[in-house]
Amino acid sequence: MSANPNKALWEKGDFTRIAETMRESGEALVASLGVGEGLDVLDVGCGDGTTALPAAQLGADVLGVDIASNLVAAGNARAQGLGLGNCRFQEGDASDLSALEDDSFDLVVSIFGAMFAPRPFEVAKELVRVTRPGGRIVMGNWIPNDPTLVAQILKISSAYSPPPPEGFVSPMTWGVEEHVQERFAGAGVPEENVSFERDTYTFDFAGTPAEFVDVFRTFYGPTMNAFEAAAADGREAELQAELESLFAAQNTIANEDATSIPATFLRVTVAV
């Protein structure tokens, strides 16, 4: 296992199993960005390419960077399977993109990716550094205490997990506008160049809400860790029940044979 806990967390499971339920929203988000031929796009914390591949399909030259080697391999396999020579994936850390040169990309996207990296001020600096003047950064960040799915999964999971190490900055702080402003200000971006809107991602799963909980329990690093901690305290059944009732309550499909759950996030656009 990796000595880097951030990398170990995401290599522990297999995020592709969750990402499979997020494809439509990924495509819709990319379609809203005006991506096309001639655009150099960087996707940070790209996973297996939920947003990187649609951007390449629209003609952009895309590099996906992710800390998890299994997801980098999955992304490259998907790009190859689709015959996309304009999309490649490599390992890297959002808080240190030193393998990438300054001013290299017209659009830097990070959808629920860079928010999970340590050292948020370094992350903001790196995202700005690799973006060309006149270019854009678009982040999707989950919002702390939001009543929708992912914020609630992370909140419930943390209640079963040991307290984080001292100095740990919660990824959810990327969902608070003041923190985002402060981090990009630290990277030299004036306040008026950072804008915010609420947006929605929908998780579509071909199974019941309880079966979808099992996917998170088996493949999603943060939930896997929460179940391990809960097991040590004899509270696994309690955690399972809490998540099952959350997923069932959020499911918008009346017939519970399938699951569709919308989740709200903070969309951040930075003009560089």
Ligand X SMILES: C[S@@+](CC[C@H](N)C(=O)[O-])C[C@H]1O[C@@H](n2cnc3c(N)ncnc32)[C@H](O)[C@@H]1O
- Spell out, one character per residue from 125 to 164, where the chain touches ligand X: x when CB under 6 A holds, - when not: ----------------------------------------
Binders of ligand X in range 101-120 (CB under 6 A): 111-113, 116-117
14 lines the binding site for ligand X (CB under 6 A)? no
95 lines the binding site for ligand X (CB under 6 A)? yes
Nearer to ligand X, 3 or 254 (CB): 3
Q: Which stretch binds ligand X (CB under 6 A): 42-50, 80-88, 234-242, 248-256?
A: 42-50
Nearer to ligand X, 90 or 193 (CB): 90
Q: Which amino acid belongs to residue 244?
A: E
C-alpha span between 113 and 100 (Å, rounded): 17
Q: Is the dihedral of CA 156, 258, 50, 29 positive or negative?
A: negative
- Spell out, one character per residue from 51 to 70, where the chain touches ligand X: x when CB under 6 A holds, - when not: x--------------xxx--
Cα distances (angstroms) measured from residue 44 to each of 30, 147, 191, 249: 14, 26, 23, 32
Half-sphere exposure of 157 (CA within 13 A, CB side): 19
45 lines the binding site for ligand X (CB under 6 A)? yes
50 lines the binding site for ligand X (CB under 6 A)? yes
Count interface residues toward ligand X (CB under 6 A): 24
C-alpha span between 63 and 75 (Å, rounded): 10
- Cα–Cα nearest to 45, from 24, 67, 70, 75: 67
Nearer to ligand X, 217 or 235 (CB): 217
Task: Report the residue from 12, 14, 19, 151 that binds ligand X according to the rule CB under 6 A.
Answer: 19
Burial of residue 214 (CB within 10 Å: 0-12, 13-18, 19+) is: middle
- Residue 184 CB, nearest distance to ligand X (Å)? 18
Q: Is the dihedral of CA 106, 24, 266, 151 positive or negative?
A: negative
- Residue 87 CB, nearest distance to ligand X (Å)? 14
- Residue 211 CB, nearest distance to ligand X (Å)? 20
- Residue 190 CB, nearest distance to ligand X (Å)? 26
Cα distances (angstroms) measured from residue 235 to each of 89, 215, 232, 238, 239: 39, 19, 8, 5, 6
Radius of gyration of the chain from its Cα atoms, rounded to whole angstroms: 18
- Residue 93 CB, nearest distance to ligand X (Å)? 4
- Residue 44 CB, nearest distance to ligand X (Å)? 6
C-alpha span between 95 and 188 (Å, rounded): 16
- Cα–Cα nearest to 245, from 142, 153, 154, 145: 153
Task: Report the residue from 12, 14, 47, 154 that binds ligand X according to the rule CB under 6 A.
Answer: 47
Binding positions for ligand X, rule: CB under 6 A: 6, 10, 15, 19, 22, 26, 44-47, 50-51, 66-68, 71, 93-95, 111-113, 116-117
